[in-house]
């Protein structure tokens, strides 16, 4: 990033620094500490310790409330219960909130009553004034892309939110905060549907808000922090998001008038950085700065409200070390390299750059090709299957971008952190087209701007027009012959073998056309962890790169708004 206008290498984020940031508020009676969900999965810490390490880290902050993210359900209701048990093992007892989730009584999350583990709201006192905090979880995405029990009911987010707000009003609560895991665009839309809501603190979309122009083009924000919207009453609503993966902290300051309405909201999302810096010398090599430059950088950071320079909390660092030894041994093994940055995108044209800060990915979200990372993962699937004609991977199953350079085992398991396996299914060309249409419809026709179910493929390419109706979005679908390398139009009547992960093969994430084939048992399970296919692909090739332009699944893209991407 740039600090004081000069490119500077710096450590970014880490939970030990997050704890240091929150400790700066110790002793104050005007602070709510909120976590917007997705504490689980995505790292080797979860792979090895199944939520205990995550809960231990969260308890060093002692959040007032947490909303339930879709990834809290990745391993089902029982695992979420186990995580909450770990979270409540200490003194904090963080309230876990989800007004629109109703577990069936007698299931893990509701052994005796529906509110045993998930509560619709909690009430906190700020300077003697009661504030209601309502939790909301994204409905369709959690049901389609995670693994909740079939008996766990998910309600429309706006309906559940308004009901909780009305219940709080009957208790005399005039100030309402929604703690959501729905995404930035969904939060803006939600605000206009509700009465009496004042603040929305959200997650899910990995959105950075605020002004980060001083740090360079790699840190492109999606809007102002806070973003101001209008609720159904015509009153202001203040919306805050603070990016991803313990890299940033959002601080919102809200004032109310005598009628209990928002009078003003200000604030800043700040990148959390360390105090060790490197800059390029005259020889072009990165090196630690001298004492004078260190002081100059520290002064520039102190003057920039979008940066917080903090040392890791010592106690948290010690706690983390009790877990990190096993993780580090696995993570540090090099398995190959990538010649190009493999950028991360869900839906081409989306507003959030999920690869912010990765050199070579500055405008990746606005390019027609979409996700390099998901494209390469699909290619790894195809290479791992001797029989498959094509391979399909859902965008949301690929979690982080990869910068150019060495790739370690830890990188691979961070890119693909889940426990899915590779399966092969026979589909006609007509069914392949239906799979693609279903995947987009699951989020676009549900009013979502982007979705984890967005498809990427190897050996399969298309033109995409998201402004069209379902059934008309994918055209010029072509299949690549694995022997000759030639492309030809997909044959609706021909049967193709499709390699994919067992998660979407079961119909999850919107892939409905896969489900009857999987349920019939007419598939081959390779029992190969999908992450291992990626590891094997890298090891075999030693150095990987972005695919050739003709091999990208997206050959042409028009966005929902009718904008043609390059």
Q: Residue 543: CB partners within 8 Å, gap ≥ 6?
A: 336, 337, 338, 339
Q: Which pLDDT value is given to residue 125?
A: 95
Of 56, 55, 104, the closest CA to residue 80 belongs to 55
User: Distances in Å between the alpha carbon of 481 and those of 46, 460, 475?
Assistant: 39, 10, 19
Alpha-carbon gap, residue 412 to 402, rounded angstroms: 9
Same domain, 366 and 303: no
Same domain, 104 and 208: yes
Alpha-carbon gap, residue 139 to 67, rounded angstroms: 13
**Other beta carbons within 10 Å of 290:** 10
Beta bridge partners of 2: 7
- Strand 390-394 with 495-501, pairing: parallel
**Other beta carbons within 10 Å of 488:** 10
Same domain, 310 and 342: no
Of 360, 297, 401, the closest CA to residue 2 belongs to 297
| Residue 319 falls inside a structural domain | no
- What is the distance, to the nearest Å, from the Cα of residue 337 to the centroid of all Cα atoms in its chain? 24
Domain boundary among 279, 314, 349: 314
Alpha-carbon gap, residue 176 to 155, rounded angstroms: 20
Of 241, 140, 243, 148, the closest CA to residue 188 belongs to 241
Alpha-carbon gap, residue 285 to 416, rounded angstroms: 32
The DSSP letter of residue 146 is S
Phi then psi for residue 46, to 5 deg, are: -70, -40
Domain boundary among 254, 286, 314: 314
Same domain, 44 and 126: yes
Q: Produce one character per residue of 381-416: b if its CB has 16 or more CB atoms within 10 Å, e if not.
A: bbbbbeebbbbbbbbbbbbbbbbeeebbbbbbbbbb
**Residue 338 in contact with residue 377, Cβ under 8 Å?**
no
Q: Residue 484: CB partners within 8 Å, gap ≥ 6?
A: none
The DSSP letter of residue 107 is B
Q: Name the burial class of residue 504, with classes exposed (0-12), middle (13-18) and buried (19+) by CB atoms within 10 angstroms of its CB.
A: buried
**Residue 408 in contact with residue 334, Cβ under 8 Å?**
yes
Number of structural domains (the chain) is 2
Q: Which pLDDT value is given to residue 42?
A: 67
**Residue 247 in contact with residue 271, Cβ under 8 Å?**
yes
Indicate the SS3 state at residue 224: coil
Of 81, 210, 90, the closest CA to residue 152 belongs to 81
Q: Which pLDDT value is given to residue 484?
A: 96
Alpha-carbon gap, residue 422 to 391, rounded angstroms: 10
pLDDT tens per residue across span 366-402: 999 999 999 999 999 999 998 999 999 999 999 999 9
Same domain, 398 and 305: no
Task: To the nearest 10°, report the CA torsion of 153, 157, 160, 163.
Answer: -170
Same domain, 344 and 292: no
Same domain, 407 and 303: no
Long-range (24+ apart) CB contacts under 8 A made by 319-325 are 319/56, 319/57, 319/60, 320/15, 320/16, 320/53, 320/57, 323/45, 323/48, 323/49, 323/53, 323/56
The CATH number that applies at residue 544 is 3.90.780.10
| Residue 157 falls inside a structural domain | yes
Q: Is the preceding omega at residue 409 within 30 degrees of 0, hence cis?
A: no
**Residue 425 in contact with residue 431, Cβ under 8 Å?**
no
Alpha-carbon gap, residue 103 to 85, rounded angstroms: 16
Edge-to-edge strand list for the sheet holding 95-97: 34-35, 65-67, 95-97
| Residue 66 falls inside a structural domain | yes
CA 536, 540, 542, 546 dihedral sign is negative
Instruction: Pick out the chain residues at pLDDT < 50.
Output: none
**Residue 313 in contact with residue 60, Cβ under 8 Å?**
yes
| Residue 320 falls inside a structural domain | no
Same domain, 159 and 290: yes
User: pTM of the entire structure?
Assistant: 0.78
pLDDT tens per residue across span 330-380: 888 999 999 999 999 999 999 999 998 999 999 999 999 999 999 999 999
Same domain, 119 and 189: yes
| Residue 322 falls inside a structural domain | no
| Residue 50 falls inside a structural domain | yes
Indicate the SS3 state at residue 231: coil
Same domain, 385 and 443: yes
The string of DSSP codes covering 243-298 is: -STT-EEEEEEEEE-TTS-EEEEEEEEEEEEEEEEEEE-TTS-EEE--HHHHHHHH
Alpha-carbon gap, residue 195 to 202, rounded angstroms: 18
Q: Which pLDDT value is given to residue 454?
A: 97
Of 223, 320, 220, 314, the closest CA to residue 271 belongs to 220
The CATH number that applies at residue 104 is 3.60.21.10
Parent domain of 407: 332-565
Give the number of C-alpha atoms closer than 13 A to the C-alpha of residue 69, restricted to the C-beta side.
20
3-state secondary structure 336-390: EEECCCECCCCCCCCCCCCCCCCCCCCCHHHCCCCCHHHHHHHHHHHHHCCCCCE
Alpha-carbon gap, residue 74 to 399, rounded angstroms: 14
Q: Name the burial class of residue 337, with classes exposed (0-12), middle (13-18) and buried (19+) by CB atoms within 10 angstroms of its CB.
A: middle
Same domain, 255 and 287: yes
Domain boundary among 283, 314, 345: 314
Same domain, 288 and 364: no
């Amino acid at each position: 990033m740039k600090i004081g206008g000069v490119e500077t290498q710096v450590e970014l984020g880490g939970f030990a620094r997050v704890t240091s940031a929150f400790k700066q508020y110790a002793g104050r009676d005007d602070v709510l500490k909120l976590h917007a969900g997705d504490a689980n999965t995505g790292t080797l810490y979860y792979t090895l310790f199944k939520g205990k390490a995550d809960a231990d880290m969260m308890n060093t902050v002692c959040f007032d409330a947490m909303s339930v993210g879709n990834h809290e359900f990745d391993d089902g209701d029982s695992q979420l219960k186990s995580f909450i048990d770990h979270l409540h093992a200490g003194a904090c007892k963080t309230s876990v909130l989800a007004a629109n989730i109703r577990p069936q009584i007698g299931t893990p999350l509701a052994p005796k009553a529906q509110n045993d583990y998930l509560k619709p709201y909690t009430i906190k006192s700020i300077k003697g004034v009661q504030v209601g905090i309502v939790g909301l979880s994204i409905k369709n995405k959690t049901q389609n892309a995670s693994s909740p029990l079939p008996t766990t009911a998910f309600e429309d987010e706006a309906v559940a939110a308004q009901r909780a707000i009305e219940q709080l009003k009957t208790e005399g609560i005039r100030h309402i905060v929604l703690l959501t895991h729905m995404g930035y665009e969904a939060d803006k839309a939600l605000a206009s549907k509700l009465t009496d809501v004042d603040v929305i603190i959200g997650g899910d979309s990995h959105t950075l808000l605020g002004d980060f122009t001083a740090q360079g083009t790699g840190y492109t924000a999606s809007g102002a922090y806070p973003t101001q919207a209008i609720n159904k009453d015509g009153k202001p609503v203040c919306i805050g998001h603070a990016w991803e993966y313990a890299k940033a902290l959002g601080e919102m300051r809200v004032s109310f008038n005598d009628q209990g309405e928002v009078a003003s909201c200000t604030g800043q999302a700040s990148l959390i950085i360390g105090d060790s810096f490197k800059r390029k010398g005259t020889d072009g090599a990165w090196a630690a700065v001298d004492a004078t430059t260190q002081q100059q950088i520290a002064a520039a950071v102190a003057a920039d409200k979008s940066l917080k320079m903090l040392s890791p909390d010592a106690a948290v660092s010690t706690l983390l070390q009790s877990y990190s030894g096993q993780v580090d041994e696995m993570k540090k093994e090099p398995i190959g390299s990538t010649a190009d940055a493999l950028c991360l995108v869900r839906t081409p044209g989306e507003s959030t750059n999920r690869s912010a800060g990765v050199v070579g990915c500055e405008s990746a979200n606005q390019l027609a090709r979409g996700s390099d990372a998901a494209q390469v993962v699909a290619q790894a699937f195809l290479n791992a299957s001797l029989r498959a004609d094509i391979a399909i991977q859902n965008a949301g199953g690929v979690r982080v971008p990869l910068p150019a350079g060495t790739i370690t085992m830890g990188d691979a398991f961070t890119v693909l952190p889940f426990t899915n396996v590779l399966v092969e299914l026979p589909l006609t060309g007509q069914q392949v087209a239906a799979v693609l249409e279903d995947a987009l419809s699951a989020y676009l026709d549900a009013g979502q701007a982007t979705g984890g179910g967005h498809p990427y493929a190897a050996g399969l390419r298309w033109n995409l027009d998201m402004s069209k109706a379902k059934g008309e979005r994918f055209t010029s679908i072509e299949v690549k012959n694995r022997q000759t390398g030639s492309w030809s139009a997909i044959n609706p009547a021909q049967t193709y073998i499709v390699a994919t992960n067992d998660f979407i093969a079961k119909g999850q994430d919107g892939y409905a056309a896969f489900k009857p084939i999987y349920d019939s048992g007419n598939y081959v399970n390779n029992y190969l962890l999908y992450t291992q296919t990626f590891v094997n692909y890298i090891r075999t090739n030693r150095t990987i790169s972005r695919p050739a332009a003709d091999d990208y699944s997206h050959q042409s893209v028009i966005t929902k708004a009718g904008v043609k991407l390059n």
